[in-house]
Amino acid sequence: MIEPALLRMAPADLVAVPSARAAAIEALAAQLTPGMTVALSTHINADGDGCGSEAAFAHLMAQRGVHCRIVNPTPWPTMFDFLLEGGIDNASPRGAAALEGIDAMVVLDINDVRRLGALADAVRGLTVPVGVIDHHVAGDDAISDLLVADTTSCATGELIFDVATTLGLEITPLVARALYCAILTDTGSFRFSNTSPRAHAIAAVLLSAGVDPEEMYRRIYAQVSVGRMELLRDALGSLEVDAPLGLSWISVEAGVMDRYDVTSEELDGIVEHPRSIVGTRLALFFRDLGYGKVKVSFRSTGAVDAQRLARTYGGGGHTKASGALLTGSLHEIRTRVVADARAYLNTGTLPSAERAGG
């Protein structure tokens, strides 16, 4: 039986901006006045939510006479080049030099300065206002207390949608496309547990504003290189499964990017393959970066909190999708993390800070 209250809930009710969120948006907007040059940035190895949120925010601020300059710590992913259409200034290749002369900065999709990689020190030294728009749990080295943050949001793109609504800005086709990219990718094409009724209501608005869902699918998911398929073949060849505990993991060795001529963005989604195995509660993806560092992606299902385990290694993210960067060889890190994951799934025991350090 459908609850009467749900039947009465109109789409307008679903997309209404919560009052606390609207107040935070207005406080941030007060720092961004016409004529300003504002740098936008997101985490290393930007994803669809980070890129989509940056592009949408840049287009929205242009309506207020604010010029935005994207300055990311790692190259803009080529698969999201289409979001730069419409005259967006991508100054990322200039690195920290692109932060010179800015009047303010807004960091999207993170609130931990360490995740700005090579830009971290430059951002720490800024004397201009720095704001954050994010939907993650804040890290241990927060960027700013000028925040638009809500962990209940399905994506940072949802918060950018609320920026438009709160400030009375137009959801143009370019804005709609960027926001749809952000929400589509961070909800796993509306499959993950962060997919809310509000996410679907916002998507409906974006479709009405001109988004073509088939085109978006093609641009984001249906342009896979041969190298990506060969890399996936090798990764799946490393698959190991502990069926009784519901643990699955795969690995990619150093040098694989060069071997198959692929970019880091083409690794996105690989961890979903072990997570999709029936009975899996926790999936791990180990990527050897080749200089004594291993990136570990954690994905969980059901009641398992992947973030709890990731945070013991200095990482973080979401309850069911997190990551961490550890020091050591692929064999050492994989052996340690798999052992810790087994203990976590079996008894709920987390590794100590001493063991997890790195």
CATH code, domain with 111: 3.90.1640.10
| Beta-carbon contacts of residue 35 (< 8 Å; ≥ 6 apart) | 65, 66
- Res. 256 pLDDT band, cuts 50 70 90: confident
220, 237, 252 - which closes a domain: 220
Mean pLDDT of the chain: 92
Residues 154 and 232 in one domain: no
Residues 237 and 126 in one domain: no
Amino acid, single-letter form, for residue 12: A
- Res. 153 pLDDT band, cuts 50 70 90: very high
Residues 50 and 129 in one domain: yes
Cα(107)–Cα(140) distance, integer angstroms: 16
pLDDT at 137: 84
200, 220, 240 - which closes a domain: 220
Q: Taking residues 235-243, report their average pLDDT.
A: 96
CATH number at residue 296: 3.10.310.30
Residues 34 and 81 in one domain: yes
Residues 48 and 189 in one domain: yes
300 bridge partner residues: 282
Q: Which pLDDT tens digit goes with each residue over 10-69?
A: 678 899 999 999 999 999 999 999 999 999 999 988 999 999 999 999 999 999 999 999
Give the residue among 61, 58, 60, 51 at the shortest CA–CA distance from 88.
58
pLDDT at 2 exceeding the cut of 70: no
Cα(103)–Cα(270) distance, integer angstroms: 39
pLDDT at 206: 96
Residues 171 and 79 in one domain: yes
pLDDT at 358 exceeding the cut of 70: no
pTM of structure: 0.84
- Res. 9 pLDDT band, cuts 50 70 90: low
67-70 and 37-41 strand pairing: parallel
Residues 236 and 177 in one domain: no
Residues 216 and 231 in one domain: no
220, 253, 288 - which closes a domain: 220
- Res. 354 pLDDT band, cuts 50 70 90: very low
Cα(52)–Cα(190) distance, integer angstroms: 16
**Measured on CA atoms in the order 19, 24, 25, 31, is the torsion positive or negative?**
positive
Residues 234 and 350 in one domain: yes
Residues 252 and 170 in one domain: no
Cα(55)–Cα(59) distance, integer angstroms: 6
- Res. 3 pLDDT band, cuts 50 70 90: low
Q: Domain residues for 338? A: 226-356
The total number of structural domains that make up the chain: 2
Residues 290 and 201 in one domain: no
Residues 233 and 209 in one domain: no
State what percent of residues in the chain have pLDDT above 70: 95
Q: Taking residues 334-356, report their average pLDDT.
A: 85
Q: Which pLDDT tens digit goes with each residue over 174-231?
A: 999 999 999 999 998 998 889 999 999 999 999 999 999 999 999 998 888 899 999 9
